[in-house]
Amino acid sequence: MRKPLVPQEIVDQYLETGVVLAETALIGDYKRGNKIAKKNRKVFDALRQDKDLAIQVLQQVMNSDNDKARSIAAADAIRLNIMIEQAVAVLEEVAKRSDIIGFEAKTALKIWRGEFPGKTL
C-alpha cells in the first residue's frame, strides 16, 4: 500500500532537488543529479493525479528562495497547465541570472513559447 502524499514532504523534495541539481550542474556530477531528478519525476507523476495538491505544492515552491527549485516547479506547472501566468513570471525572473540556472530557465521559456519546434516541456 502506497503512503499518501504529504504536501510539505513534496515541497521539501522539490527544494532538495533544486539544491542538488544546482550543485551538481556546477561541479559536473551528472550521475547524482540524474538520480535526484528521477526521484522528483516520480513525485511529479503523482501530482498529475491531484491538481489541487499540485497547485498547493507548486505555488509554495515557486515562492521559495531556491531559484532552481522555483524553475522546476514552474516548468511542472506549465506541464500540468496550471498557474501558467505565475510559472512564466517565475521563469522570466530566473532567466535573468547569468549562470546555468538562468540559461535553463530561458531554454524552458523558449520551448514553451514554441521557439524550438518539436520540443515540449
Q: Rounded distance, CA 81 to CA 1, Å? A: 29
- Model pLDDT, residue 82: 98
In a domain, 2, yes or no: no
In a domain, 67, yes or no: yes
In a domain, 19, yes or no: yes
Task: Give, for 61, the enclosing helix (H) or strand (E).
Answer: helix 51-62
State the CATH number of the domain containing residue 19.
1.25.40
End-to-end CA, the chain: 31
In a domain, 40, yes or no: yes
- Give per-10-residue mean pLDDT for the chain (121 aa): 78 95 91 91 92 97 98 97 98 97 96 84 68
* Domain count for the chain: 1
User: How many Cβ atoms are within 10 Å of 99's Cβ, its own excluded?
Assistant: 11
In a domain, 30, yes or no: yes
Q: Rounded distance, CA 1 to CA 104, Å? A: 37
In a domain, 60, yes or no: yes
- Model pLDDT, residue 2: 60
- Model pLDDT, residue 5: 72
CA distances from 30 to 5, 25, 103 (A): 28, 7, 17
In a domain, 120, yes or no: no
Q: Rounded distance, CA 43 to CA 13, Å? A: 8
- Model pLDDT, residue 19: 95
Q: 68 lies in which domain range?
A: 7-112
- Model pLDDT, residue 97: 97
In a domain, 121, yes or no: no
